Amino acid sequence: MQVDVFTAVPCLGNPLAVVLDGSGLSDDAMQRFAHWTNLSETTFVLPPTPEGRAAGADYRVRIFTPGAELPFAGHPTLGTFHAWLAHGGQPLEAGVVRQECGVGLVALRDVGGRTAFAAPPLARSTPDGEHLARVLAALGLAPRQVRATQRLNNGPEWLGLLIDHPDTLWALTPDHAALKALGQKVGVAAQPTDPLLIGRSNREARAFQAGAAMAAAGTVAAPAPGTEAEPDLWVRAFAAPVGVDEDPVTGSLNASLAQWLMAEGHLPDHYTAAQGQALGRDGRVYLSRDASDQVWVGGDVTLCIRGEVTL
């Protein structure tokens, strides 16, 4: 199947290819297919390992970008679950699904009417100053434009940057070759700063400018500005080291950003992030933190393609 994740409207989220029976496929065959799909991620559903089954796993998933395997990723977690369920998957326990992947078991459940996954534990630290300076140079950012930084690792590792303004975010034209040489995936986020409605309108128009250009070229239908309430956080994700210059909507990054920014008091326990507008998409990620400090990452998923693949 191919599903579109973090959107209720087909073609506005992050697509995911799901091979519903990966049994018997070699690592090379999986990587070749993921490279061929040319999507940010492709997943392969497998029976749980004996250890996973003993821990209550409903299924196992392996996650590949065009260039590498990942221990965990967010949009493949939500998308694989929906494809597995649509294919007849039956949870072992009512109300919760446990997915086995490289970081262990990840729980999925309903949160506020949407499926959400439990963000894996986050390791975070202050980035090395020299490395950070090189990353900022590759992004074209001045140090004064950066409000906060953290190295974030919840399976995938990201350098998280909270910057000064959405306009700065939209203006980014990274040197992807430099980021690839540095081996650094970067997540850049900005909070809305102008409370006036006209400010909101102008920001949304700028956010969709790139998407409108793509629509004019016939590559995507751009959403109309103002179709959803303004989010609490705008996000872009640059992942050249794994073969994806800019990812449309990134669950693992949004999970780790939420864990960091909520803990530091930059954002409340419930907020909405938007991502993909610079690519003509309109992804929405719904973040929440419960009483036990567990962060849940939710979003809509749309089934777009059913079929068969020969591998």
Calpha distance 43→45 (Å, rounded): 7
Calpha distance 258→139 (Å, rounded): 22
Q: What is the pLDDT of residue 217?
A: 43
Q: Are 241 and 178 in contact (CB under 8 A)?
A: no
Give the three-state DSSP class for 14: strand
Confidence of residue 145 (pLDDT cuts 50, 70, 90): very high
Q: Is 41 a known active-site residue?
A: yes
The one catalytic residue in 41, 100, 204, 246 is 41
Return the domain boundaries, the chain.
2-118+300-305, 123-292
Architecture of domain 123-292 in CATH? Answer: Roll (3.10)
Cα Rg of the chain (Å, integer) = 19
Give the three-state DSSP class for 283: strand
3 pLDDT above the threshold of 50: yes
221 pLDDT above the threshold of 50: no
Architecture of domain 2-118+300-305 in CATH? Answer: Roll (3.10)
Calpha distance 212→7 (Å, rounded): 18
Q: What is the pLDDT of residue 311?
A: 87
265 pLDDT above the threshold of 80: yes
Q: How far is CA 27 from CA 3, 6, 47, in A?
A: 23, 28, 16
Strand partners, 287: 271, 297
Q: Provide the whole-model pTM.
A: 0.89
267 token code pair: 């954002």
